[in-house]
Amino acid sequence: MTFRDLLLQGPIQQSLFHARYQALDMLHHRQRSPDQDKAVAAIRASKAPIVAFTVAFNVPQAISLLSDAMARFHPGVPLVVCDNSDDPDAPAQIRAYCEAAGRIYCRLPRAPLVKKFSSRSHATALNWTLHNLILPSGVRRFATLDHDLVPLGPDDLMARLADQPCYGYVQQHDGRSRAWYLWPGYALFDLDRIPARKVNFGTDRMLRLDTGGRMWTTLYRHMDETHFKHAEIRSGIVPGYADVRVHHIFDDWFHVGQVSYRDGNLNALGVMRAAFDADPDGLKAATRP
């Protein structure tokens, strides 16, 4: 390691970065949402064996498609919509949809010193959700889902956690580090086997790990990766869409991807919506390239 590496990527600098983020997260955790008491009560009242949480960001269409598809294929799994939108018009639309569809909604407080399109934005939203919704409601098993996922068929999420404390899509760092972590856009956790203090959806800048990478240090590095069952990943397409870009499917969850960006996949999301409405049970076959 060079002298510059020691300055910029050494253990002291790494500790300072993590301490800064931890302090900011603690400030954020203390901020309350006017929706959180109602949301916690609703989650607790559901008494569901597993609860799904998604972070909404500016795209009501994504939330409605995820929710409607889950209602068809995962009717027993409550979906909690944690709204981190910065578009002034989006929260009212997302809230209205959730109220009409019977989904649990919580508007998240804005995290301090976080850029809106950064990984930190998603990470702080998930950490706030953990400390202010998941733990207070007594949830023991939960899923974190990207807002632009679309389930293509039924799946037993509880069975995914039968033999291990967490499950999902593994992201592997391809540099000098051997660190791996679960992408929190499709991940499951069992708090009966994972101490809550080890769950941290933060990024790890020094290891160049994205949202959820902080758990390499607290959780994943202590697990045997060779025996870890993880999500199957395969390629898929939006059926009938002129843009034939390849999308990822994790088990039977289709990821449209990047719908919140200015040049994102809103058109693809709309075509996916139409395909679901036309033939939801045929969507799985229709997404095969």
Q: What is the pLDDT along the chain (289 residues), one digit of tens a residue?
A: 444 444 445 555 555 556 656 666 776 667 899 999 999 999 999 999 999 999 999 999 999 999 999 999 999 999 999 999 989 999 999 999 999 999 999 999 987 656 655 667 889 999 999 999 999 999 999 999 999 999 999 999 999 999 999 999 998 765 666 889 999 999 999 999 999 999 999 888 777 788 888 899 899 999 988 899 999 999 999 998 877 788 999 999 999 987 876 555 778 899 999 999 999 999 999 999 8
The two tokens of residue 107 are 């508007």
Q: What is the three-class DSSP state of 199?
A: coil
H or E element that contains 75? none
Handedness of CA 68, 69, 71, 77 (dihedral sign): negative
Per the CB < 8 A criterion, the answer to whether 80 and 54 are in contact is: yes
All residues at 6 or more sequence positions from 240 whose CB lies less than 8 Å from its CB, including other chains: 271, 275, 286
pLDDT of residue 195: 95
268-274, Cβ contacts within 8 angstroms, sequence gap of 24 or more: 268/238, 268/241, 268/243, 269/59, 269/61, 269/62, 269/65, 269/148, 270/61, 271/238, 271/239, 271/240, 271/241, 272/65, 272/150, 272/238, 272/239, 272/241, 273/61, 273/64, 273/65
Give pLDDT, residue 24. 62
Helix, strand or coil for residue 5? helix
- CA 188 – CA 129 distance, rounded (Å): 15
The CA-based diameter of the chain, rounded to the nearest angstrom, is 61
**pLDDT (0 to 100) of residue 4:** 45
Could you give the CA distance from residue 199 to residue 97 in angstroms, rounded to a whole number?
Answer: 30
Residue 6: per-residue pLDDT: 44
pLDDT of residue 8: 45
Question: What pLDDT, on the 0 to 100 scale, is given for residue 125?
Answer: 94
Residue 50 near residue 70, CB atoms below 8 Å: no
State the Cα–Cα distance between residues 101 and 108, nearest whole angstrom: 20
H and E: helices and strands count for the chain? 11, 10
